Amino acid sequence: MRHVVTKAHVLDVKPLTEPVLLILTSLADQPRHGYALIQDIESLSGGRVRLSTGTLFGALRRLLEDGWIERFEQEDTSRQKQAYRLTAAGRKQLQLELDRMKQLTRAGIARLRASEA
């Protein structure tokens, strides 16, 4: 077994879980409340992912604690719906994850093409 050396700035960035990735992606363009997040995530995933309220609110709690999202007051709701929006730190984490996924995708495509040649 060999030791793998990685870049220092990559060591503290772990891949995001799919629910977290989808929540951050959903909040990238506008604030949303819980039910709107569930609907948007289902749409983003092409119907493949439907988060339970327990999964959603557990992830939202952790994202709030990490400072990646924040609560957002919505004036246009008749009920007390809690809305969330992405913070600068959350946007940075989303961008880091998307960059990581792009690099992996490029590497995978290159390997597939090489094996077809």
Domain segments of the chain: what residues? Answer: 17-116
Burial of residue 26 (CB within 10 Å: 0-12, 13-18, 19+) is buried
Q: Does domain 17-116 have CATH number 3.90.180.10?
A: no
Q: State pTM to two decimals.
A: 0.82
Confidence at residue 10, expressed as pLDDT on a 0 to 100 scale: 46
The predicted-structure confidence for 24-82, as pLDDT tens digits, reads as follows 999 999 999 999 999 999 999 999 999 999 999 999 999 999 999 999 887 765 566 79
- Which residue type, as a one-letter code, is found at position 83? A
Sign of the Cα torsion 95, 98, 104, 108 reads: negative
Give the residue, 10 or 57, on which the prediction is more confident: 57
